[in-house]
Structure 1
Amino acid sequence: MTYCLRIADLPENERPRERLMTHGAKILATAELIAILLGTGQGPGKLSAVGLGQHILQELGKNQRDPLGALREVTPAELMEIHGVGSAKATTILAAIELGKRVFLSRPADGTVIDSPLAAAATLSQDLMWQSQERFAVVLLDVKNRFLGTKVITIGTATETLASPRDIFREVIRHGATRMIIAHNHPSGNLEPSEADIELTKQLLSGALVLNIPLLDHLILGNGTHQSLREITTLWDDCPQED
């Protein structure tokens, strides 16, 4: 569907800004988020701001490119090649993208308590979130779950990475950590754990008990979101760790 109707002509409860204020940004489509940045429409057929947002995504998605992936790396020249996008709209979009990257990729300070899967994922977003190859990493924590740092253990292919329990525990012990969270990314964006992911987690949970280095979670990251195996499996019930 292409929007040519002006946003001002929409019922107030259907306008992107009003919907964001009422329900939060997560419910908005990507084109609606872009529309808020654009403010006004233009482009082919005098599109509304939402319609122009859709048009931008369609243009960036040509040649079988992922529109959001293309948007993350787009240049000012590429944006301004799109009919209806001038320098003002291009710079507004680029500034928003860069701000989002900086917020998302910022790491917590040493000593920050990591008390949720979201907090753990934030420490790894720079290393794992949008990588084109699978990477396996560990979040290093002290006895009070305070952040000590992260370490990428292995880098694999576009579809798989290899990490052995021996390599993982060696790095944890070498850095003086007493608790850990492991994580890897799925470049495809599919966050469902594989059989290999489950089996490795079982091995690490057993090893963590022997070494008295609790494994608090195993996260899968990709395309701006994450999945906690502790939340979606019974592995920690089967092999309880010290919290």
Structure 2
Amino acid sequence: MSYNIRIADLPLTERPRERLLSLGAKSLSDAELLAILLATGQGKGKLSAVGLGQYILSELSKYKREPLDVLRDISPQELMAIHGIGPAKATTILAAIELGKRSFQLRPMEKMVIDNPVAAAAALSHDLMWQNQERFAIVLLNVKSQFLATKVITIGTATETLVHPREIFREVIKQGATKLIIGHNHPSGNVEPSQEDIDLTEQLLQGATFLNIPILDHLILGNGNHQSLRQITDLWLRYPQGE
């Protein structure tokens, strides 16, 4: 696709809005999604909306990070420093980013059943997903695995946090929960577990077995992603939780 051709001059099958309607938003490139928000480019003979979207991503890549990672936390002033982005375009982009954050961080409704990693990640995302410091939190559930509450147990540095089993189980007993899901975030965005994560999970599962308070999963969250240790380790086979 030429980035100087006006969107109105493109075939219908190549226009971002039409592609979204026919194929779904997931089928569009980052530049095309930005183009829909921008609506217009730089003007006649200059970059189209798609071209401007691609130019924005190129400029953000100069921060030596993923462009969308930069865009998530960018200020209006930094965005407007990019040629072709004025207050109207900047505020539209930032409003869309904030709506995306809020929808992703929406807590589950009370009594909603939390019985899979996706639902658990949604419950924990408000407290863990976009944080710059590592945090350890729990999802408290009743005997039917229905959502009761979430609770941040500890907040650490930018790279690590420490949690003791007694702090977790004390909160579970205090809240009258009968099951729980544990989770923490990796501010780097890498959701692969460290050996320390695995060792801690093993320790907590042993404690949960002794106290008869099942731990259903341990999730690692970061930058829009999550990983379930129950799915990728054999810890729950080694330490059955009697759910």
Report the TM-score, using the length of structure 2 for normalisation: 0.88
Deviates more, 1:230-239 or 1:217-226: 230-239
Secondary structure of the structure 2 residue equivalent to 1:138: strand
Once the 2 structures are TM-superposed, how far is the Cα of residue 63 of structure 1 from its aligned partner? 4.2
Maintained 8 Å contact 1:4/1:47: yes
* Cα gap change, 1:214 to 1:46, in 2 (>3 Å): same
The letter of the residue matching 1:122 is A
2:26 alignment partner in structure 1: 26
* Cα gap change, 1:8 to 1:172, in 2 (>3 Å): same
1:77 alignment partner in structure 2: 77
Deviations 1:50-100 (A, max 9, x none): 221122233344444553343223333333332112232222212212211
Deviates more, 1:58-67 or 1:216-225: 58-67
Maintained 8 Å contact 1:43/1:85: no
Does residue 57 (structure 1) correspond to residue 44 (structure 2)? The answer is no
Maintained 8 Å contact 1:153/1:163: yes
Once the 2 structures are TM-superposed, how far is the Cα of residue 207 of structure 1 from its aligned partner? 1.5
* Cα gap change, 1:164 to 1:2, in 2 (>3 Å): farther
CA distance in 1, matches of 2:77, 2:160: 35
* Cα gap change, 1:16 to 1:242, in 2 (>3 Å): farther
- CA RMSD of the aligned region, Å? 2.4
Secondary structure of the structure 2 residue equivalent to 1:192: coil
1:176 alignment partner in structure 2: 176
Once the 2 structures are TM-superposed, how far is the Cα of residue 29 of structure 1 from its aligned partner? 3.0
CA distance in 2, matches of 1:39, 1:52: 10
1:40 alignment partner in structure 2: 40
1:150 alignment partner in structure 2: 150
1:136 alignment partner in structure 2: 136
CA distance in 2, matches of 1:106, 1:85: 30
CA distance in 1, matches of 2:9, 2:67: 28
Q: Which runs of 5+ in 2 are unaligned?
A: none
Maintained 8 Å contact 1:135/1:154: yes
Maintained 8 Å contact 1:76/1:94: yes
Once the 2 structures are TM-superposed, how far is the Cα of residue 28 of structure 1 from its aligned partner? 3.1
Secondary structure of the structure 2 residue equivalent to 1:133: coil
Secondary structure of the structure 2 residue equivalent to 1:227: strand
The letter of the residue matching 1:146 is Q
Deviations 1:155-190 (A, max 9, x none): 112221111222211111121111000000011111
2:208 alignment partner in structure 1: 208
CA distance in 2, matches of 1:45, 1:113: 55
Identity across the alignment (%): 71
Report the TM-score, using the length of structure 1 for normalisation: 0.88
